[in-house]
Amino acid sequence: MAALAQQSIVEAPQPKTTGYWTGVWRRLRRDPVAIFAGLVILALILMAIFAPYIAPADPYRASSLRRLRPIGTAGYPLGSDELGRDMLSRLIFGARLSLFMGITPVILAFGIGSAIGIFAGYVGGWVNTAIMRTIDVFYAFPSVLLAVALSGALGAGFGNALVSLTVVFVPQIARVAEAVTTQVRSRDYVEAARASGAGGFTIVRVHVLGNVLGPIFVYATSLISVSMILASGLSFLGLGVRPPEPEWGLMLNTLRTAIYVQPWLAALPGVMIFITSIAFNLLADGLRSAMDVKQ
């Protein structure tokens, strides 16, 4: 009977083994909504990169004669703004700054917030309590208010807007990072790693990071849309990008005077913000379900 344990297990043929990311990609591919959202984002990024080649006109060239032309005017497929600049070109070029302002603070906050959250979550105890209560102070302010207050305090400008947006997102990401890390830390495989004598740094590197970065990344992706809207808001209030740079939020601001004259035209930057943010949100949703291993 001792031979029984040595005998290999007989079983039905199993599918070829696959890596984790292969599985995620396979599940993501089956989600048409997420794929569509991903394609929209890809298109927007390509548009931003190749803006000079795509845009029909110079986004800065004003014309005092052809101001606020409606959508569909000859030479101005999407009309012209209050200074007579081509809307289509400005929307295309606007993708550059808008996407940059949307993505950069999130990437920065992802790095900083994850580090804080994973540290607090893994160490636990009073260290965790101290860090997380401090973070909660920031969290208590509505993000719009916090971004506006910080930008106002730091002074208007592109760089300061990025900094204040990053500060807004760090507590949010740190909170999620702390929550998932606390959860992973209580798993038996972390206990088993501790029981085999591994140090905290090794355990975080091998057993924690791989399991928490995914969920944090998904959460961060969903913040990109918030970041874009906040960045637009800052620009709208004159705290972010300054005229005449094309940026969707700023465009919304400067066109607001024309809302009674050309309502559709004035709404165009808003439409772009809406499409982009919803695409990021849908992609984040798709990623979330695709990363669920227990499928």
Partner 1 sequence: MTEPAIQIRDLRVTFGGVVRAVDGVDLTLHQGEVVALIGESGSGKSVTLRSLMRLHPPRRSRVEGSITVAGRDVLAMSERQLADYRGATVSMIFQEPLLALDPVYTVGEQIAEVIRRHEKASRAEARARALELFQKVRIPSPERRLDAYPHEMSGGMRQRAMIALALACRPKVLLADEPTTALDATVQIQILLLLRELQREFGLSIVFVTHDLGAAVEVADRIAVMYAGRIVEEGSARDLIRDPRHPYTIGLLKSRAEGALAKGSRLDAIPGSPPDLAHLPPGCPFAPRCPLAIEPCRADRPPPIPIGPGHAARCIRTDVSPGLLARHPEPAPA
Partner 2 sequence: MIPEDRGGPAQPLLTVKGLLKHFPVKKGLFGGASAKVRAVDGIDFEVLKGETLGVVGESGCGKSTTARLLLSLIDPTAGEIVFDGERVGSRALSLKEFRRQCQMVFQDSYSSLNPRLTIEASIAFAPQVHGVPRKEAVGRARDLLARVGLEPRRFAERYPHELSGGQRQRVNIARALALQPRLVILDEAVSALDKSVEAQVLNLLLDLKEEFGLTYIFISHDLNVVRFISDRVMVMYLGKVAEIGGSEEVFERAQHPYTAALLSSMPSLDPDNRTEVAPLAGDPPNPIDPPPGCRFHTRCALVEPVCSAKEPPLAATEGSHRAACLAVQPGSGHSLAPAATSVELAA
Chain residues that interact with partner 2, rule: CB under 8 A: 1-2, 4-9, 11, 14, 17-20, 187-189, 191-199, 202, 206-207, 210-211, 293-294
Residue 10 binds what, of partner 2, partner 1, none (CB under 5 to 8 Å, by partner type)?
Answer: partner 1
Looking at the Cβ atoms of 142 and 210, the one nearer to partner 2 is 210
Cα–Cα dist 288/218, whole Å: 6
Q: Give just the sign of the alpha carbon dihedral 49, 55, 61, 65.
A: negative
Q: Which stretch binds partner 1 (CB under 8 A): 2-10, 105-113, 130-138, 220-228?
A: 2-10
Looking at the Cβ atoms of 1 and 195, the one nearer to partner 1 is 1
Least distance between partner 2 and beta carbon 133 (Å): 17
Instruction: Tell me which amino acid residue 94 is.
Output: G
Tell me which residue has tokens 């890390």. 181
Least distance between partner 2 and beta carbon 189 (Å): 5
Tell me, residue by residue from 5 to 34, as one string, x for binding to partner 1 by CB under 8 A and - for no binding. Answer: --x-xxxxxx--------------------
Residue 64 binds what, of partner 2, partner 1, none (CB under 5 to 8 Å, by partner type)?
Answer: none
Is residue 231 within 8 A of residue 272, CB to CB? The reply is: no
Looking at the Cβ atoms of 3 and 65, the one nearer to partner 1 is 3
Residue 50 binds what, of partner 1, partner 2, none (CB under 5 to 8 Å, by partner type)?
Answer: none
Least distance between partner 2 and beta carbon 19 (Å): 8
Residue 193 binds what, of partner 2, partner 1, none (CB under 5 to 8 Å, by partner type)?
Answer: partner 2
Helix axes 143-154, 209-236, angle to 10 degrees: 70
Cα–Cα dist 199/188, whole Å: 16
Looking at the Cβ atoms of 193 and 283, the one nearer to partner 2 is 193
Instruction: Give per-residue burial for 10-34: e unless 16+ CB within 10 Å, then b.
Output: eeeeeeeeeeeeeebeebbeebeeb
CB atoms within 10 A of CB 232: 28
Angle among Cα 158, 162, 166 to the nearest 5 degrees reads 170
Dihedrals phi, psi of 59, to nearest 5 degrees: -70, -10
Least distance between partner 1 and beta carbon 289 (Å): 15
Looking at the Cβ atoms of 68 and 291, the one nearer to partner 2 is 291
Residue 192 binds what, of partner 1, partner 2, none (CB under 5 to 8 Å, by partner type)?
Answer: partner 2
Least distance between partner 1 and beta carbon 191 (Å): 22
Looking at the Cβ atoms of 64 and 196, the one nearer to partner 2 is 196
DSSP letter for 204, please: I
Question: What is the Cβ-side half-sphere exposure of residue 251, based on CA atoms within 13 angstroms?
Answer: 33
Cα–Cα dist 25/206, whole Å: 22
